[in-house]
Amino acid sequence: LLLLVIGIFFSNVIPARRWLSSIFLSSKGETALLIPQILEDQNPSSELAEYNLTAQRSTKEFIKGIKTETYGYNGDYLGPVIRVKKGETVSIKLKNLLGETTTVHWHGLELPGDMDGGPHNGIQPNETWNPQFTINQSAATLWFHPHPIHKTGAQVYKGLAGLIYIEDEVSQKLNLPKDYGQNDFPLILQDRRFTKDGRMPYDLGMMDVMHGFQGDTVLINGAVNPFLEVPQGKVRFRILNGSNARIYNLHLTKTSEFWQIASDGGFLEAPVRLNQVDLGPAERAEIIVDFSNFKTGEVIQLQDRDENLMKFIVKDKSTKNVTIPKSITSIPKIEPSSAKTTRKFVFQGMGHMVNINGKQMDPRRIDEELKINTTEIWEISNASTGMMGGGMAHPFHAHGVQFQILERNGKEPPKNERGWKDTILVQPGETVKAIATFKYKGIFMYHCHILEHEDSGMMGQFQVK
């Protein structure tokens, strides 16, 4: 117990990544940012989109000359971007060549429970799973990742994750940067720990079980401290915190402002001017950075606190004239008075004991029963305060639904959280009220998106009937 207390004390004072020295310092800044491929729709008709994904084992050279064992979708690490349109029916054939059971969960998609890819939708080795669903929500940047019980942390860590872009009339009409790989870039942030010989083992020490896995090296789209050449104009970044547990505090050097235009579930009503943005595990933020006042060759760093993550090198004149719009879209407010129920979710405990409302995940137990097409308020509180309670933030996430945040500790949420949210970072001692309408039947998960907490059992099931 004494060790535990000392451990908690130190881990709260010194960020874990400072304990470790990175073997990659010498390679920093040498690799170009990789831009994931857009996955080809195999069906020529405009109503049905068909995609093939293969979860496979591979190796990748994160550093030149050293091969690291990885998992990937259709490649060596991470996966392609699945770009779909609102209204379209999507069929995905997912082949599992991992040699172990996996699932593929569509994080942020509103869809029936049996298509959701949670722990119930196991895909055995060499099997193919073929979910089909219709896209019935606004333009957004979502993602997909495995979700097998107790193994989500390990499989995501090895490289299984990819992005889903939903486009709709709003996103197509808006005069925003939207040329993929030219002025519209995905940035997937993940932290990893490498051994001297270049392996990336997912070995959890006591601190990792407590606080979630913290790496010493940040990968962006699978590269260590990469660079990206950007046009001398406005550029959109769709940022996903794809880390197992790390919370980022993102900002830029040389410019103190950018605009957030979208949160997890889609566009905000208006761009929010920020000088930094916090992103908990699984959260997304789309931001626009204006590089037009920089000289050719100038370097701007993306930083997490005081750590450089990657650099933007300003290249040529951008011909496209994009102005940041005053308003983007309108989000229909879900009226609190329309809520039938208020449900409470208390996140508490630590280490292997992390739980929600005193319970740990049991696949045979349904924790919450809901009626289809009802609106509910979910009150999520984080009781893990103080040193003995763990004192850490838990990112709450629920499947198959998008929320609107009503209150954080009784106050209106910040402007960049006044859009759709599927993942909500809840600080120690904080209570967040969120509202949602549950439009699909089935069994869905709610859990902490610190994957080590999820795997320890900080997860429950709700059934919509």
Residue with tokens 């491929």: 37
Partners of residue 186 on adjacent β-strands: 238
Stretch of residues binding Cu ion (CB under 5 A), selected from 55-63, 159-167, 331-339, 386-394: 386-394
Q: In the complex, what is the shortest distance from the CB of residue 451 to ligand C2O, in angstroms, rounded to a whole number?
A: 9
The residue sitting closest to Cu ion, measured at its beta carbon, is 448
Q: In the complex, what is the shortest distance from the CB of residue 103 to Cu ion, in angstroms, rounded to a whole number?
A: 11
Instruction: Kindly identify the residues of this chain, within the stretch 398-427, that bind Cu ion according to CB under 5 A.
Output: 399
Rounded CA separation 80/37 (Å) = 5
Q: In the complex, what is the shortest distance from the CB of residue 446 to Cu ion, in angstroms, rounded to a whole number?
A: 9
Say which entry of ligand C2O, Cu ion, none residue 394 contacts (CB below 5 to 8 A, set by partner kind): Cu ion
Q: In the complex, what is the shortest distance from the CB of residue 158 to ligand C2O, in angstroms, rounded to a whole number?
A: 16
Binding mask 78-117 for Cu ion (x = CB under 5 A): -----------------------------x----------
Taking the alpha carbons of 81, 82, 87, 88 in that order, is the dihedral positive or negative?
positive
The residue sitting closest to ligand C2O, measured at its beta carbon, is 107
Q: Which residues bind ligand C2O (CB under 6 A)?
A: 105, 107, 145, 147, 282, 397, 399, 445, 447, 449
Nearest residue to 240 via CA among 105, 81, 104, 93: 81
Residue 394 binds Cu ion, judged by CB under 5 A: yes
Residue 450 binds Cu ion, judged by CB under 5 A: yes
Say which entry of ligand C2O, Cu ion, none residue 450 contacts (CB below 5 to 8 A, set by partner kind): Cu ion
Pick the closer one to Cu ion by CB: 166 or 228: 166
Nearest residue to 73 via CA among 41, 98, 110, 101: 98
Taking a C-beta distance cutoff of 8 angstroms, is the pair 101, 148 a contact? yes
Q: In the complex, what is the shortest distance from the CB of residue 245 to ligand C2O, in angstroms, rounded to a whole number?
A: 13
Nearest residue to 261 via CA among 253, 273, 251: 273
Q: In the complex, what is the shortest distance from the CB of residue 27 to ligand C2O, in angstroms, rounded to a whole number?
A: 30
Pick the closer one to ligand C2O by CB: 105 or 158: 105
Q: In the complex, what is the shortest distance from the CB of residue 153 to ligand C2O, in angstroms, rounded to a whole number?
A: 11
Q: Which DSSP category does 38 fall into?
A: B
What secondary structure does DSSP assign to 144-210, as a single string? EE---TTTHHHHHHHT--EEEEEE-HHHHHS-S---BTTTEEEEEEEEE---TTS-------HHHHH
Size of the residue set binding Cu ion (CB under 5 A): 6
Q: For the CA atoms of the chain, what is the radius of gyration?
A: 21
Residue 393 burial (10 A CB sphere; 0-12, 13-18, 19+): buried
Instruction: Kindly identify the residues of this chain, within the stretch 293-352, that bind Cu ion according to CB under 5 A.
Output: none
Taking a C-beta distance cutoff of 8 angstroms, is the pair 165, 218 a contact? no
Where on the chain is the footprint of Cu ion (CB under 5 A)? 107, 394, 399, 448, 450, 453
